Amino acid sequence: MEVSRSQGARTRLPPSKVAALAEEWLDERRTIGRGISSQTEAAYRRDLTNWATIIAEIAGRPSPPPAQDGSNRPDPFLGALGRLDLDDLSLDNVKRALAQMARMDYAPASRGRMLAALRGFCRWLVIEGHMVADPTIHLGNPAIPNRMPSAFLASELEAIVRTVSQADPAARLPWPSRDRALVAVLAGAGLRASECIKLKLADLIREQPPILKVTGKGNKQRRVPLPVEVVQAVDEYLAQRCKRLGEPSPSDPLLVRYNGKPFTRESLNYHVYRWILRAGVHKPEGEAAHAFRHTYAKGLVANGVPLSSVQALLGHASLNTTQVYLRMTGAELADAVQAAEVREYLRAT
């Protein structure tokens, strides 16, 4: 049995029946239909590892042996699922594990996502004849609070654009043109952080209007038109990048760090936090970079863009996800950032 691709070099453990079946389920998910992305598979592995760890504690299963060498740690996925028997996946244990997750302050959305992963695995176990009944079939998803998305106000977006247009005095290698390009793409195209960091130079297609070819969740692609001011900000950055790092190839990342390496989600959010701190802007709830996406979406809705078009631009699989932006009141929409406003601030700086 091969160790998870996402875990790097790990100690190979003899898989238990549950662990082996979980690997078989993931193998099938990769090969049927459209398959699953590496990010989705990694999320399934994390979620099933959490389930197995909590259920094993509830069932009193022994812990895996400690690693002898910190550089040769056992794979956590195989280690956690290796503690379980199929009988441990009972309705009572699953309900108790859900309650334990709530006590551990897992957010309702996280518990819902984790339940979906376990539900998929258990449904497959029943279909394949390894279990008689699915313990998750009658469990409802945790209620998610009716919370409005966090977005920047017009004054906050203006402050951020003006801030990143100036060199960061605390940075060892300030790069304001790159930071302006990041803000322009995030606020002017409404990308997720994961989509932004995966952009290649070839994904900027200079048609009329210019577009970004974006690879979203499930490796689904969409084409997002760009305002001319966003393209100008990116071009200014690319000109400086050539001087700093040499001529890039079309397959290179579009947006890079000082050393020429691509951003990670963590490094991107670190930069956003730095901008917010320097601009004196209130930190939004959730992932910092995601607030630009909410800002973009609310601006589209405020400007009367049809909801189906907003759905297409954001890459939402369901229109229900997009409808959250309709719940803004007229007063909130007046204060919310309009997508076009980032163009004005880019021009002014």
Per-residue pLDDT band at 323 (split at 50, 70, 90): confident
- What are the pLDDT digits (tens) for 196-223? 999 999 999 998 889 999 998 878 899 9
- Are residues 195 and 123 both part of a single domain? no
pLDDT for 305 equals 85
Q: Answer whether residue 77 is part of any domain.
A: yes
Q: Answer whether residue 132 is part of any domain.
A: no
Q: Is the pTM of this model over 0.95?
A: no
Question: What total of structural domains would you count in the chain?
Answer: 2
- Are residues 78 and 196 both part of a single domain? no
pLDDT at 137 over 60: yes
- What are the pLDDT digits (tens) for 218-229? 788 999 999 999
The range of the structural domain enclosing residue 81 comes to 5-127
- Are residues 278 and 220 both part of a single domain? yes
- Are residues 327 and 279 both part of a single domain? yes
Long-range contacts of 117-120 (CB under 8 A, 24+ apart): 117/43, 117/44, 117/47, 117/48, 117/51, 118/47, 118/48, 118/51, 118/94, 120/25, 120/29, 120/44
Average pLDDT over residues 290-306: 87
- What are the pLDDT digits (tens) for 88-134? 999 999 999 999 998 887 878 788 889 999 999 999 999 999 999 99
The residue among 221, 219, 248 whose CA lies nearest residue 234 is 248
Question: At 237, which CATH number?
Answer: 1.10.443.10
- Are residues 198 and 335 both part of a single domain? yes
- Are residues 21 and 120 both part of a single domain? yes
The residue among 83, 91, 82, 145 whose CA lies nearest residue 118 is 91
- Are residues 267 and 169 both part of a single domain? yes
State the catalytic residues: 192, 217, 290, 293, 316, 325
- Are residues 123 and 243 both part of a single domain? no
Q: Answer whether residue 194 is part of any domain.
A: yes
**Alpha helix (H) ranges present in the chain?**
17-31, 38-59, 76-81, 91-103, 108-127, 154-164, 176-189, 193-197, 228-245, 265-279, 290-302, 307-314, 319-322, 330-335, 341-348
Dist. CA 124–CA 258, nearest whole Å: 46
- Are residues 75 and 161 both part of a single domain? no
Average pLDDT over residues 305-315: 88
Q: In what order do the strands lie in the sheet with 211-215?
A: 204-205, 211-215, 221-225
- Are residues 83 and 205 both part of a single domain? no
Rounded (5°) CA angle 266-271-217: 45
pLDDT for 8 equals 40
Top pLDDT among 265 and 13 is at 265
- Are residues 210 and 273 both part of a single domain? yes
